[in-house]
Structure 1
């Protein structure tokens, strides 16, 4: 079974891409930790972009279970409530590809490879103004946070997107446009490494 870690800016279309190619999707955002006083903070609250807000070991265990056993129980996380609200069962039966997507895919790729998982890294490379518009539309529609928070966070993410891309490429991710990624993931010829 093929394992792809899919990185890209928040709102770049990672979930849409994974669904479009028929992959089993593992939402890495579901591995956030419940909000609490021990999580890293910024001036406006918890810093959800800090990797310390996220359960890397749990994500790795779920990916290993999917590859080894074909199924895994994963948390369900509410971004509105800032906590885990339950679990769900993922079943990889009949799927040739598992796509794990989320903002911490960059940090997960070297961990997955060190753990012996055959992971390929793809960075969904899209223009940052387009990504900002798509992200704002999604976040407003899903009522993720108050609009002013979304606008402030959106501006910060817009400024940070070139650095995110550079970090992904330095970690071993391959930059692909949406069209290139659809063709690559649909072709079945993954190039691990």
Structure 2
């Protein structure tokens, strides 16, 4: 049997072919560098979008105590962060008092931990969950901690009488969808607040009456402060409409837009 053997000419030709093949491979590797190829057996593969995911945002819901914030939040169908759980404890020496009285002024922003509330909102927007204190208003104390988990929901509510204090800070974080201030009128709010606080045994009756009378006289100034901070004053129906707009990704006003 005749067996072909290499000769000098054949060897040179093979070296040229090999060199050209190496150049072709190198060129192809450079052209495809950074390109993710679909594995032939990856049935669950999906292309990577060039657009960032829609961030989770928050609607801040404020208003005088008794204006119906919690009820609106429950009817909204959105996850809710209760900002009242960030009250300071009754033993905190920094708690403010009502002028000419020994009563603690629980309606003053200094009775509340704004930094912790902002941190919780930021973590919810980033990760979908956060730990929050459990606060017992009747005891003026934190009684534990729980986890708020909103999953991948793109919108949630943070409600409480001090929510407007966070408008600028949430806007700076880029997470503000809207800020709303509920208003029902001083007499209606007084009645709702007193009956609720009495039913829940939040404080003593004399304290509730003193607080209720004071807040009724101050309600218009409370709303004026909250709107000056960037919240939009509205009734329940308008608030629901703006929540629907925020959930659809629309912004009701440029002032409260993130």
SS at match of 2:222: helix
1:75-154 mapped onto 2 (5 Å cutoff): 75-93=133-151, 95-154=153-212
Measure, in 2, the Cα distance between the counterparts of 1:45 and 1:152: 10
**Aligned pairs, how many?**
193
List 4+ stretches of structure 1 deviating above 6 A: none
- Larger Rg over CA atoms: 2
| TM-score, scaled to structure 2 | 0.71
Residues 109, 119 of structure 1: 8 Å contact kept = no
Residues 167, 176 of structure 2: 8 Å contact kept = no
Question: In the alignment, which residue of structure 1 is the partner of 2:251?
Answer: 190
Measure, in 1, the Cα distance between the counterparts of 2:131 and 2:213: 35
Measure, in 1, the Cα distance between the counterparts of 2:122 and 2:57: 12
Provide Cα deviations, 1:61-119, integer angstroms capped at 9, x if missing partner.
10011110001111111101111111111111253421111111121112222333324
Residues 112, 119 of structure 1: 8 Å contact kept = no
Gaps of 5+ in 1: none
More displaced stretch, 177-186 vs 113-122:
113-122
Residues 124, 175 of structure 1: 8 Å contact kept = yes
Question: In the alignment, which residue of structure 2 is the partner of 1:16?
Answer: 71
Residues 134, 143 of structure 2: 8 Å contact kept = yes
Gaps of 5+ in 2: 1-55
More strand by share: 1
- RMSD of the alignment, in Å? 1.5
More displaced stretch, 11-20 vs 116-125:
116-125
